[in-house]
Structures are given as structure tokens and as C-alpha cells.
Chain A
Amino acid sequence: MDGRSVEDNMPVAVIKTKSELALSEQFQAALPSLPGGPEVATHRRAAIAAFTEFGLPHRRIEDWKYTDLRTALKDPALPSVDATAKLTVADLIVALGPFMNMDAARIVFVNGHFRAALSNVTGTDTITVTPLSASFDSLSPLSTDAITALNTAFVTDGAVIDIPDGVTLEQPLLVVSLSVGRDARLSTIRNRISVGAGASATIAELYLTLPGSTVDGQTNALTEVTISRGATLTHVKALSEGGRATHLSNWNVSLGAEANYRAFQLSSGVALARNQIGVTFTGEHAKIDVSGTFLGRGSDHIDTTLTVDHAVPHCESRELFAGVLDGHARGIFQGKIIVRPHAQKSDGKMMARALMLSPDAEFDSKPELEIYADDVVCGHGSTAAELDEDLMFYCQSRGIPAAEARALLVKSFIGEAIARVDNEAVRTALEACADAWLAQDQTNSAVT
């Protein structure tokens, strides 16, 4: 086109998609009912302005090559303003499933709103656990990330957890977010976790639904984590919001010297998930293990995008993500390890594995190492494979029928990843989640 050179020098007029326009419009409609004072409202407006400028990320942006939100997010839902949806403790027990069996405190949100009646924080008197809505005074600075911008614009609640210096939280703390109801709805959660020097805790974020209420729930969850010197945090997430749910999330973690961060994410039972995890080392001799498993079938699309920033020397990072993909499911793992120029003696190892149960499933793995220091040990690997026929035969020759053998081997594959969770009660519950996902498959095959 002859006008091309002229266009290059002009602001690009991007055509907004229907959903981008809808999100901006919905924001104007929702703003009066969203919590927080004038300062928060200002942050929200700035965030939606930034979002309006950038729009939804799409495949021509490298980080979003495999997850095009412009096409995937066709009908953005309105934030749920109804904080009164009827939900009893009995419902909660059903939703929590295996997580109900453990001795744990919990703070519960339903469709993005704190529910005191369902929460139970006994045993947490050494720490502070409050809903964000109780002290909604500010939101973090602007981000160029679209999911974060939308989170800032629409956030309604979340957990603010403060573990003072030297405190050890004995039992796990569950941060439960339930998405329920028959209508499409947006739940926007922002959690803040601060672990003081030498403190130690296990926190599990659970994004769940109730049987029969799986109608296009949309969740946007952001968790900011600060781990101080010498502190240890086991940080787990279990996602199972229903077969038509959309889940966008960010974990932004910063850890100080000699801190230890052990993270695990289980993603299953979701139509579209984009889990972004960013970890930055800010003090030397800190260690992380960020691992997870993603379980997809049907046309599920589960994306894990991870960035580990070795910004200081002498830190160690380990990552293992193991996915099981059946039907037409698509799993994505993008993992980037950055080692800054002065971050000598950095030690990073990243692994992504997928078990392909169907010829139509797809696994996209994109490991990236950006290493600017010369005295480091960094490596990555990626595999995608079908179930091992020899192992199948071995199990069957021991009398285990084919369907059971297959389930056992898939479980074994997932179990290897879940084994990295050090808290036994949480690990057992995660295994039960994986078992439930596998059992659904057996139910389905029994029907067909």
C-alpha cells in the first residue's frame, strides 16, 4: 500500500474487538459498585485506560503466541456484585472435597466476595488474615500485563495474609475461591501474602466450583507474595472451576536472602487457563521449587507461563511441570530463566513433560534461558510421550485390567510431580484431586 510509510509514523489505530469494547463498557457500569475509596477508583481507572490502549493480548505478541485471548475471550462476564448467593457450609464441604479432610484454617470467597460465615480462621491467632475488602486503601502500581490491568480494574476482594517474623504456622491455611451460580460471572481476587523473616507457612489457594453450577465462570486472580530473609513458604494452588470456566492468574513472588519458596499448581477441570508465575530473587542463597501438573481433556486449554529472575548471585531454582493431555486438549508451558550479569553461581533446572493420551492433543513447550552471567549452571528439558506400552503390559501381566492400568500409570506420572509438595496433608488432597479428574474419564468411557 502506498500509504504504508505514512502509517508507520502515525499512532496505530487498532480495531477493538467486541470483547475489548465490552470490558471497557462493563467497567464504567461496574465502577460505582466496586469497593474502595477514591484512590482505589483512580487506580482502577488508570488500569482500564491502560487496558483499553493495549487491548487483549493476542498471538502476534510472543508471550501470547499459544494463548490468544482476543479469540478465546469472546464473552467477558460482568463482575458478580451479588454477595448474597445462597451457600451453606454443607455446600462448601462438597466443593472442598479432599481439602475438607485436613486440619486447616480457611478464608472463603464466593464469586469474589468474602464470606465470614464460611470462613474459619481458628488456630491462626499468631498471624493476620483479613479480607482485602476490609481495608481497601490502594492497589499496586500499573502493569503492562493485560490480566493484571483487568485485575486492578475489577478486583472485589481477596485475602491479606501477614505472617510476622519468626512465626511458624503449624496448619495449612486455605484461601478458597468458589465460583458458583447459573449465570456467567466474573470473580476477581487479589491476595497479598507476606512472610516475615524466619517465618514459615503452608498456604493453598483453591479455585473450585459446585457440581451443577458450572456455567462459564470467569476468574481473574492475582497473588502478590513477599518472602523475607530466611523464611519458608509452601504455596499451593488447586484449580478445578468446571469444564467451561475461564481462569486467568498471576503469582508475583519476590524472595529475600536464604528464603525458601516451594510452589505447586494443579490445574484441571477448566476450559481456558492462563497461569502466569513470576519469581524474583532479591537476596542471595535463596531457593525455589516451582512445579505443577496440568490435566486437560476435551478442548481444555491450559497455559503455564513462568519467569524466574535470578537477579542476584547464589540462588537455586527448580521447576517441574507435568501435564496429561487427552482428547483435543492443549497444554502450554513457557518457562523463562533469566540470569542477570552479576548473578554468578546461579543454579537453575527446568523440566516440562507431557503425557499424550490422544493423537489430537497438543503440547507446546517453550523453554527460554537468558543468561548474562558466565559462572552458572542452568538447564532445561522437555518431553512429550504416549503411555509406555511395556509398562502397560507389565501392569496387565500382574492382573490389572487395561483401564485400571492406564489410570495407574497416568497417576504415576502425575504423582511424580505432586511428590514435590512437602506438606503431606496437602499432597494427599492434591492426589485426590488428580484421582477425581481421572475418575471422570472412567465415568465418561463407561458411558460411551
Chain B
Amino acid sequence: MLEIKNLHVKLADEDKVILDGLDLVVPKGEVHAIMGPNGSGKSTLAYVLAGRAGYEVTDGDILWNGESLLEMAPDERAAAGVFLAFQYPMEIPGVAGLTFLRTATNAVRKKRGLEELTTPEFMKVVRGKAAALNIDFEMLKRPVNVGFSGGEKKRSEILQMAMLEPSLCVLDETDSGLDIDALKIVSDGVNALRSPDRSMLVITHYQRLLDYIVPDKVHVLARGRIQTTGDKDLAKELEKSGYAGFVDAA
């Protein structure tokens, strides 16, 4: 279970407050969506969960299965089960996709006290998961994300997620830059990972993604905190009314 309590976050080198007393609970096995206008702090929330530098938590806490994430390095959080699918996945020239996947998978397995995968084991697993995501295996021999289309990058993120077997998936604007076919493939990939043991936080600006990844709850994030919470129909209402009411509200 993810528990975010009274989270206050500012930029480390500026006085700008981004999250201002955010409370959120995502129980085990549930999928929650975070929606909100641009600049409301959605991506900041994703980054703070994953432990990116540049932000300062001035108050509050983030508990994952009862343990605070705040003092953990990003790789320790990954080992604890946190995975962030980036809005803009990074390109790593000179490192083959398979090398990267294997390094990451085994680093995480090692920290979780599991046996590292041998090359044949790894290849078998990655082949199966890549095929399910409609990823050409040859693509994984190329440097990570270099020269990939928007859709290929997002599928590559979901493949990493599938390989690392996280228990908390944070998807940051996974729908951005995707056409409808790519959106369907990516959503199928995410849905395949839904399980009673896995919580998901789906961050999106648009309702569209939530037609494919149907959430248990929808939260509206504006002005640094959750303004309202509802079921999947809330997303549809927002699509009609927009976020204006939340931005203007006192």
C-alpha cells in the first residue's frame, strides 16, 4: 500500500512550492489515476516517488508498505518495488537495450535476494515479454531508445517495467505522443501487469488513456494537493468541464 501523507515539496534551488500538503492512499492491487492541469505538480509527484534529485521534501512522508521511501536512493526504491515509466524515456547511446535490461533486472533481483538470471534464462524471459508487447527483438540489440519512435520508446518502458516486476507502477503521461494503435498496445501491456499484488498510479492529463487502463479511483491534483476523488466517471466529467473549476477555486 502506498500512503502519501501531507507531502510538501519545493524545488531544491528555488523557493517554488510544488506540492503543498498532498495526501493520497493507493491500496494494494488498485489502479489510481491522477489527473490535473498542466503545472499542477503531477510529474513532480512521479519524480519524488522515484527519488529524482532537484526536489526538497519540506514536510510529510511517503510510505510504501509501511516503510518511508524518502531516505532511499532511486535504485533502492526500485529494489523496493517502485517503477516510474517516464513521460520522456531517455536515450542511452552506446548501451544495447539487452545489456541495459539485463543489468537492471539483475541489479534489482540481487537486492531483492533473488538469484541473478543467467544469460539463457534472461533471454527466454525477455523474448517472451518483448513478443507480448509487439517489440521486435532486433530492436533490443540497438542502443537504448536511440532512434526509436515515440510509440517504441513507450513500449520499451513497459518492457522494462515487465522485466523489473515492480509492486508499485507509476506511469507518467504514458499516453503522450502515442497514436491510437500504440496507445492500445501500451495499455494492453500495462493491463497484463495488473495484479492483486501490484498497485498502479496512472498520471495523465487526458481522459483517453483511462478508457484503456480503467482505474479504480480518479484523483484530481491541482495547486499542489488532491482536490477531489471519484470513480472512473470523474475522468469523463473532467473531459467535459475541464480543470478550470479546480484552478480557480479558492
**Which residues on A are within 8 Å of B, measured CB to CB?**
389-391, 393-402, 404-405, 408-409, 411-416, 419
Contacts and interface: CB of A to CB of B under 8 A. Distances in A.
Q: Which 3 A-B pairs have the closest CB atoms?
A: A415-B94, A412-B94, A399-B78
Contacts of B74: 393, 396-397
Kindly state the interface size class of chain B when it binds its partner: 20 to 34
Contacts of A415: 93-95
Given A394-B89, A398-B108, 17 more contacts: A391-B90, A393-B53, A393-B74, A394-B90, A396-B75, A397-B52, A398-B160, A398-B164, A399-B79, A399-B108, A401-B73, A402-B75, A408-B92, A411-B94, A411-B95, A412-B94, A413-B94
Given A393-B52, A396-B73, A396-B74, A401 B107 contact: yes
A413 B164 CA distance: 25
A409 B91 CA distance: 11
B127 interface: no
Given A399-B79, A399-B104, A416 B53 contact: no
B92 A400 contact: no
Contacts of B143: 412
Nearest to A417: B94
B75 A401 contact: yes
26 contacts: A393-B53, A394-B86, A394-B89, A394-B90, A395-B104, A396-B51, A396-B74, A397-B50, A397-B75, A397-B83, A397-B84, A398-B78, A398-B100, A399-B78, A399-B104, A399-B107, A399-B164, A400-B103, A400-B107, A404-B107, A408-B92, A409-B95, A412-B95, A413-B94, A415-B94, A419-B94
Nearest to A414: B94
Contacts of A404: 103, 107
A419 B93 CA distance: 10
Contact of A399 (B86, B90, B94, B111): B111
For A396, A399, A402, A414, the residue with the greatest tally of chain B CB atoms inside 10 Å of its CB is: A399
Contact of B92 (A389, A399, A409): A409
A390 B93 CA distance: 14
B75 A399 contact: yes
Nearest to A410: B94
Contacts of A396: 51, 73-75, 78
A396 B52 CA distance: 9
A390 B87 CA distance: 13
Given A397-B78, A402-B75, A412 B92 contact: yes
Nearest to A390: B90
Contact of A398 (B53, B73, B94, B104): B104
Contacts of B84: 397
Contact of A397 (B51, B92, B94, B111): B51
Contacts of A419: 94
Contacts of A412: 92-95, 143
B75 A400 contact: yes
A404 B107 CA distance: 9
Nearest to A409: B92
Contacts of B78: 396-399
Interface string B59-78: 00000000000000111011
Nearest to B92: A412
Nearest to A416: B94
A353 to B, nearest CB: 11
Contacts of A409: 92, 95
B52 A408 contact: no
Q: Which of A397, A415, A416 has the most chain B CB atoms inside 10 A of its CB?
A: A397
A396 to B, nearest CB: 4
A356 B62 CA distance: 35
Interface string B99-114: 0100111011001000
Interface in B189-224: none
Nearest to A396: B74
A419 B53 CA distance: 32
B162 to A, nearest CB: 12
A414 B51 CA distance: 28
Interface in B95-154: 95, 100, 103-105, 107-108, 111, 143
Interface in B15-30: none
Nearest to B77: A397
Contacts of A408: 92, 95, 100, 103
B95 A402 contact: no
Interface string B149-173: 0000000000010001000000000
Contacts of B83: 397
A345 to B, nearest CB: 29
Nearest to B163: A398
A402 to B, nearest CB: 7
Query: Of residues B73, B74, B77, B86, which shows the largest number of chain A Cβ atoms within 10 Å of its Cβ?
Result: B74
A414 B143 CA distance: 13
Nearest to B101: A398
A389 B94 CA distance: 17
A389 B12 CA distance: 15
A245 to B, nearest CB: 28
Contacts of B160: 398
Nearest to B143: A412
Which of B86, B95, B105 has the most chain A CB atoms inside 10 A of its CB? B95
A26 B217 CA distance: 85
A412 B93 CA distance: 6
A415 B95 CA distance: 7
A235 to B, nearest CB: 22
Contacts of A414: 94
Nearest to A394: B90
A390 B74 CA distance: 12
A418 to B, nearest CB: 8
